[in-house]
């Protein structure tokens, strides 16, 4: 289990200061926040003019247009509403691998994205996927929620045995309002692409941060081996040689490509992060590169 202090350092927080999430779509918010939506309302950002109608607030009447054109026009504004951001951390046992482990690395990245969302007054819903029922509770908002989110992440551990795909399907079948669904997972469940498709089909914009270790992409193994499934305990015996490893690399490359294609097909983004990647590198060459943050 990680500790709160080990997730984000003061220098990390200074680096993240000023960043904001940049969804590609506008989502309906529930409370007023700092994010501009396409819905017309009353705020500080001018949107357009429209003709005056009986009952309109005269404070928004443009007197200059009335004087010049003898036409009553009302100034409209973009409404500022919050964005639902689901920080979905995979707690499947397969995440307990590597040095540092995929899970510890993913929790750190999740804390960074969560901080950016909270600093932007977005509504953050933390979720454990891969175990139990991923039902969103009450959202956290504002900088005061950075410590509770860090504590929540620090208290998670890779323990799930029910499968990532099954957990994502249960979330998609729920009533969570559409928003930015940021998934931190190795994605190694063979049914994960179909599960991502189900989440996207419910109107969520997917950001899939796939966390892998170097050895998973390029294993340095040879000889007769007995492999154990971290989640089911099932064993399989193989002989690792050049042909076997080449087939494995083809399969994992194809699987990762399907995950990326699924996220992109539903208007989302895909980022791969190898354990040990620095947070600044993840922000610059991961999130910024695909336009998730600005």
In angstroms, the CA 96 to CA 210 distance is 14
Domain positions in the chain are 4-29+82-213+272-287, 37-81
User: pLDDT tens across 17-39, in order?
Assistant: 999 999 998 776 554 455 555 44
- CA dihedral for 174, 175, 178, 179, sign (positive or negative): negative
**What would the mean pLDDT of 52-75 be, rounded to a whole number?**
78
Q: Who has greater pLDDT, 259 or 61? A: 259
User: pLDDT tens across 243-288, in order?
Assistant: 888 888 999 999 999 999 999 998 999 999 999 999 999 999 999 9
- Alpha helices, H only, the chain: 4-7, 10-16, 63-69, 102-119, 146-155, 164-172, 192-201, 214-217, 242-265, 279-282
Q: Is the pLDDT of residue 293 over 50?
A: yes
pTM value is 0.80
- Return the DSSP state at 40: E
Q: Which helix (H) or strand (E) holds 182?
A: strand 180-185
pLDDT value at residue 180: 97
Give me the CATH code for the 4-29+82-213+272-287 domain, please. Answer: 3.40.50.410
Q: Is the pLDDT of residue 228 over 70?
A: no
- Alpha helices, H only, 164-274: 164-172, 192-201, 214-217, 242-265
Q: For residue 43, name the pLDDT band (cuts at 50, 70, 90).
A: very low
Q: Is the pLDDT of residue 54 over 60?
A: no
């Amino acid at each position: 289990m990680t500790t709160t202090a080990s997730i984000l350092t003061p220098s990390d927080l200074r680096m993240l200061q000023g960043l904001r999430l940049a969804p590609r779509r506008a989502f309906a918010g529930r409370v007023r926040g700092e994010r501009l939506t396409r819905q017309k309302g009353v705020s500080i950002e001018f949107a357009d003019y429209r003709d005056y109608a009986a009952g309109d607030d005269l404070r928004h009447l443009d007197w200059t247009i009335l004087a010049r054109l003898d036409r009553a026009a009302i100034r409209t504004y973009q409404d500022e509403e919050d964005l639902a951001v689901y920080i979905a951390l995979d707690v499947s046992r397969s995440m307990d691998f590597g040095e540092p482990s995929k899970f510890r690395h993913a929790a750190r990245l999740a804390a960074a994205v969560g901080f950016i969302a909270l600093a932007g007054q977005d509504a953050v819903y933390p979720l454990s996927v891969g175990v139990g029922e991923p039902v969103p509770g009450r959202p956290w908002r504002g900088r005061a929620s950075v410590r509770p989110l860090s504590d929540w992440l620090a208290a998670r551990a890779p323990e799930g045995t029910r499968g990532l795909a099954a957990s994502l399907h249960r979330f998609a079948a729920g009533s969570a309002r559409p928003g930015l669904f940021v998934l931190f997972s190795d994605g190694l469940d063979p049914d994960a692409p179909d599960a991502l498709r189900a989440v996207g089909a419910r109107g969520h914009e997917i950001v899939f941060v796939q966390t892998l270790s170097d050895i998973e992409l390029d294993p340095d193994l040879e000889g007769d081996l007995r492999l154990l499934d971290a989640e089911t305990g099932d064993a399989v015996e193989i002989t690792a040689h050049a042909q076997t490893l080449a087939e494995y690399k083809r399969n994992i490359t194809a699987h990762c490509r399907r995950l990326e294609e699924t996220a992109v097909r539903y208007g989302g983004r895909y980022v791969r992060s190898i354990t040990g990647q620095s947070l600044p590198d993840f922000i610059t060459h991961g999130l910024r590169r695909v336009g998730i943050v600005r």
